[in-house]
Amino acid sequence: MIIIQSIQEMQQAIVTEKKNGHSIGFVPTMGYLHEGHLSLAERASQENDFVVMSVFVNPLQFGPNEDFDQYPRNFEQDEQYAKKAGVDVIFYPSIKEMYPNEPTVTVKVKRRTDVLCGQSRPGHFDGVATVLSKLFNIVMPDRVYFGMKDAQQVAVVDGLISDMNFPIKLVACPTVREEDGLAKSSRNVNLSETERQEAPVLYDSLKKTKEVYETGERHAGKLKMVLKENLNDRLNLGNLDYAEVLTYPDLEQTDRCNGKIIVALAVKYSRARLIDNIVLDEGEMSC
Ligand code: AMP
């Protein structure tokens, strides 16, 4: 495994791989890797000849009062983990390499962002779509791997790839969890001990909502009430940011949950904002 920091070198390496007829799998991350990220890399390495993982904490997707500075970083550990997961290149550019000047062009996401994290974090998905457009042009992957932990991101990337005609297949992978159900996240290290003890309540409330859905309840308002009641009864340290039941991937309000729906929530702790979701589909349970 090698580390590449320059855009030009990265593009050259890809051109060489493509000349040799190799398929390219790409896993974009912000580093501080855990088993969630590694599951994407392992899958990418099973399905492609050459795997690139980017490690870049993208300032464009953080709001002015968000945790850009507090976001955990440990590149040496990332290197060891990525190598074991079958990554061939870590693309590790500096901010200056990615944004040498104030950008002339950025990407604006028009749909799927007026709810959930898009509503709580204005401009976040514009920053995500902008950096991904750059990374797609740098890595030129055949397949790109994203986690359903960030289901709204998957919905936005799905729109980005199809609207901008990137010749890339999007592969959405299931959420990897701790034994107590908490979704693995780089931000979990910023939870206090007592917050960490409370945090499994998030997934537990999603499971309770799924149980009610499985009894045949299809009224979105009722499912949302179950979710909110479960969270409000059991959250002491965390503050509920949102709890929603929406169509997926369009992320629209609905009365009846007949097609694919997402049950999603975000909770703010003192130094970490956690998100989680489940996608439910009649006849098929996913992620
Ligand atoms: P991040 O470094 O948080 O930007 O995440 C990079 C990629 O890893 C994104 O596609 C995330 O959805 C994915 N990811 C993060 N946590 C998990 C998890 N617990 N399970 C599966 N994928 C994850």
pLDDT reported for residue 287: 47
The bridge status of strand 50-55 relative to strand 169-173 is unpaired
Q: Tell me which residue has its CA closest to atom 22 in ligand 1.
A: 147
Tell me the CA–centroid distance for residue 177 and ligand 1, in Å.
11
Give the mean model confidence (pLDDT) for residues 244-265. Answer: 97
Integer Cα distance of 22 and 272 in angstroms:
40
C-alpha 39 to ligand 1 mean position (Å)? 9
Q: What is the mean pLDDT of the chain?
A: 97
Distance CA 116, CA 242 (A): 7
The per-residue pLDDT for range 123-139, each reduced to its tens digit, is 999 999 999 999 999 99
**Which residue shows structure tokens 């929530």?**
265
Phi-psi region of 115 (alpha: psi -120 to 50; beta: other; left: phi over 0): beta
pLDDT score of 238 more than 90: yes
Residue 42 one-letter amino acid: E
CA 184 – ligand 1 centroid, Å: 8
Average pLDDT over residues 92-116: 97
pLDDT of residue 71: 96
Catalytic residues: 37
- Note the pLDDT of residue 209: 98
With cut-offs at 50, 70 and 90, classify the pLDDT of residue 286: very low
Confidence band of 282 (pLDDT split at 50, 70, 90): confident
What ligand 1 atom has the least distance to the C-alpha of 33?
Answer: 2
Cα-to-centroid distance, 11 and ligand 1 (Å): 24
> What is the pLDDT averaged over residues 44-59?
98
Question: How large is the average pLDDT for residues 110-129?
Answer: 97
Residue 58 has what pLDDT?
A: 98
The residue assigned the tokens 């507090």 is 70
- In tens, the pLDDT along 15-28 reads 999 999 999 999 99
Residue nearest to atom 13 of ligand 1 (CA): 147
The residues near 10 (Cβ < 8 Å, ≥ 6 apart) are: 4, 52, 89, 91, 93, 138, 139
- For a ligand 1 pocket test, name from 35, 37, 87 the mutation site with the most ligand atoms within 8 angstroms of its C-beta: 37
- Ligand 1 shell residues, CB under 6 Å: 29-30, 36-37, 39-40, 146-147, 149-150, 173, 175-176, 183-186
* DSSP character at residue 207: H
Ligand 1: which atom is nearest the Cα of residue 145?
A: 10
Q: Residues 32, 74: contact at Cβ < 8 Å? A: yes
